[in-house]
Amino acid sequence: MSQQKPSELELRVQSFSSELNQVLSARDNNRPTSVWGDPRAVVAHLRQGVSGQEAARTKMLPYLAPFLSPDDAPAWVKARDEWFFVVASHSKPSPTGSATEKRPNLGQAARPLRGVSASCEARFANLLACDESEVARRLREIVAILSAKELPVHWGQLLRDLTLSGWNAPGRPVQNSWARGFYFRPMPDQPNSEAPESA
């Protein structure tokens, strides 16, 4: 049985995630250059994007433009380009692994805080319930908590969830997958079972 060929969007997500991780790793290991240039300057420009201001987004374009939709792409594809800006502005290095390996989704990344941090649980519930226009802000809150607790976020998986499924997709597959990851508990007759990893 042959594997399905990745879509053009999925290839962009994979390439972006790989290159972003290389830049972040170069910065953290004090290497003077990366695939996108001076890693410290690149990360400074990307982090400015958290503000959402147009001037900050313009500084991100030299790094993100190669991964954005072509001019003739349908509007629904172009709308998903926003997630590249959101993920790039929040990123820290993801744990390494093969490009095709399943990675924990955001709910699974936050699961260690369930029952420990009421603040995290409330913020996570608010994220799952929010409208697409609020996702970037609510995501920033969750990421700040995870960073403070040194819990890694798999940025490639996060971007894959947001771009390939879409926040407002029928049936809310992203929110359901993240909820399963966060609220998962083994069934009594299956003590070693694990929650599905992605949407």
Q: Are 106 and 178 in contact (CB under 8 A)?
A: yes
Identify the band that residue 199 occupies on the pLDDT scale cut at 50, 70 and 90: low
Question: Could you tell me the CATH superfamily of domain 8-183?
Answer: CRISPR-associated protein Cse2 (1.10.520.40)
pLDDT tens across 36-59, in order? 889 889 988 888 877 767 888 888
DSSP label at 70? Answer: P
Rounded to 10°, the helix 118-129/135-148 angle is 160
What are the b/e assignments for 27-40, b being 16+ CB within 10 Å?
Answer: beeeeeebebeebe
Q: What is the mean pLDDT of the chain?
A: 82
pLDDT tens across 10-26, in order? 888 889 988 888 888 88
Q: What is the DSSP string of 34-47?
A: BTTB-HHHHHHHHH
Among 16-20, 52-56, 81-85, 133-137, name the one with the lowest average pLDDT: 52-56
Q: What is the pTM of this model?
A: 0.75
Q: Is the pLDDT of residue 93 over 60?
A: no
Considering 26-30, 101-105, 122-126, the range whose residues carry the highest mean pLDDT is 122-126
